[in-house]
């Protein structure tokens, strides 16, 4: 499976953290960074949704029997 590129997400979070700490009212980012962030979030969310679907499908066949046993 291809490795996720989370650098645009990390860059955005760093810029947001700095803006919050310096009490900025607005955060402006260039459109090329917006495009990279959008693409990165799309891939991350798609992969997460796929993994959650696999987990849900795998758990449908689990059967648990509770037996107190004999002492």
DSSP the chain: -PPP--HHHHHHHHHHHHHHHTT-S-----HHHHHHHHHHHHHHHHHHHHHHHHHHHHHTT----------
Whether 20 is covered by a domain: the verdict is yes
Task: Find all residues with CB under 8 Å of 49, minimum gap 6, and list them.
Answer: none
pLDDT value of residue 24: 96
pLDDT digits (tens, 9 = 90+) for 14-53: 999 999 999 999 999 999 999 999 999 999 999 988 887 7
The count of structural domains within the chain is 1
Residue 51: which domain range?
7-59
pLDDT-based confidence at 60, cuts 50/70/90? low
pLDDT-based confidence at 71, cuts 50/70/90? low
pLDDT value of residue 37: 97
């Amino acid at each position: 499976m291809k490795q996720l590129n989370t650098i645009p997400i990390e860059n955005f979070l760093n810029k947001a953290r700095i803006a919050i700490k310096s009490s900025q009212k607005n955060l402006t980012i260039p459109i090329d960074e917006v495009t990279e962030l959008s693409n990165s979030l799309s891939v991350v969310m798609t992969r997460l949704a796929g993994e959650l679907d696999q987990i849900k499908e795998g758990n449908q066949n689990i059967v648990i029997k509770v037996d107190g046993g004999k002492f």
